[in-house]
Amino acid sequence: PEDTVAQRRHVAYFVALVEEAEPHLFGALMGPWLDRLATEHANLLAALDACYEDPEGVETGLRIAGSLGRYWHVRGHVGLGTRQLERMLRREGAEAPGAARAKALSMAGALASCRGAWEEATICLEEALSLFRSLGDRLWEGRSLMTLGSVYFHLGDTERAWSICEAGLAASKEVDDVRGIATVLINLGVLAYGRGDKGSAHRLFGEAAALHRRSGDQATLALALGNRSALSVQLGDYASARSELAEALRLALELDAVWSGIAALASAGTMALARGAPGEAAVMLAAATSGVERAELDLSAGQRNELDRIVAQVRDASAPESFAEAWSKGLAFSFPEAADFVLGWLLRDQTATS
């Protein structure tokens, strides 16, 4: 039928678009390509619907969903992306092994880790790894190992997490994936911090940031800077923390990179508390909490405990009415409003120090 032919042409156009875009979502052109996909997002979802309904559209649907995974991850469409990936992966015919299924599984695992669904993430990533290895795809093997290492860290198996991250580092080095190497270094920094080695963690985050500047992955650069700023605060290096936070927030704003922005807001709240500004800290932490909920993200038990601990300290340092007012203000902020609030406070804090 003519309608079917037209629909398949529509789908063919959008699978070509998203597969052209996807490699750029890890590099220097990610901003324009993220915006292009945002403009076409409704059409891409319609193409996914068409693939789901078409008995011959399963592999194409997996290709679209897998290639969109990075977009959903960066822009914070975690719940939506999860539902789309799960729907295609459960479709009859989707169980056939191949590159399309492997990438869809890898991205489903990445989004599951954002939601704190660690067992689900493990299942997806282990199968993805097996498929990528059978295909000889070392680039995506390395990327899947990076995420899996982080998952095992959050499950409390730090030794396994460390060995998996090292395997991911080896795979990334083999294919000269600078962005992959940098991302593994972030994970190794988190592991070092978990072991109580703040100095090594600080160094690893710095090395990761330098490599992400080379790779052009500004979203993950923002994440590395946010992580490093939190450690700079703990080490008493507030000048570095201010610089790192300001750059992380500006990058997250430029890209509308939700996950990176939320991490920077939480780090800023920690710094504001350390600098004797509990009211500002409450606003920042509330904005981070609100961002997590809006993006349908979740935190690991360790992350949640750390956030709860800091919020309790902020509450203890504030008058009850002042805390409630500041918290309500932060909850109502959009991410751009919260970022502007933090950037303004960082400037005032720097001026006061000078």
CA-wise closest residue to 258 among 85, 111, 88: 111
Residues 6+ apart with CB under 8 A from 145: 129, 164, 165, 167, 168, 171
Q: Which residue in 25, 113, 36 sits closest to 66, CA to CA?
A: 25
As given in the structure block, the two tokens for residue 119 are 């067992």
State the pLDDT at residue 6: 84
Q: What is the pLDDT along the chain (354 residues), one digit of tens a residue?
A: 667 788 889 999 999 999 999 999 999 999 999 999 999 999 999 999 999 999 899 999 999 999 999 999 999 999 999 999 999 999 999 999 999 999 999 999 999 999 889 999 999 999 999 999 999 999 999 999 999 999 999 999 999 999 999 999 999 999 999 999 999 999 999 999 989 999 999 999 999 999 999 999 999 999 999 999 999 999 999 999 999 999 999 999 999 998 899 999 999 999 999 999 999 999 999 999 999 888 787 777 777 888 899 999 999 999 999 999 999 999 999 999 999 999 999 999 999 987
Task: Return the beta strands (E) in 177-271 as ranges.
Answer: none
Q: Both tokens of residue 137?
A: 């795809």
Specify the pLDDT at position 1: 62
Q: Find the helix or strand (DSSP H, E) in which 330 lies.
A: helix 320-332
Buried b (16+ CB within 10 A) or exposed e, 33-52: bbebbeebbeebeebbbbbb
Residues 243/226, Cβ–Cβ less than 8 Å? no
Helix 301-316 and helix 258-274: axis angle, to 10°?
Answer: 40
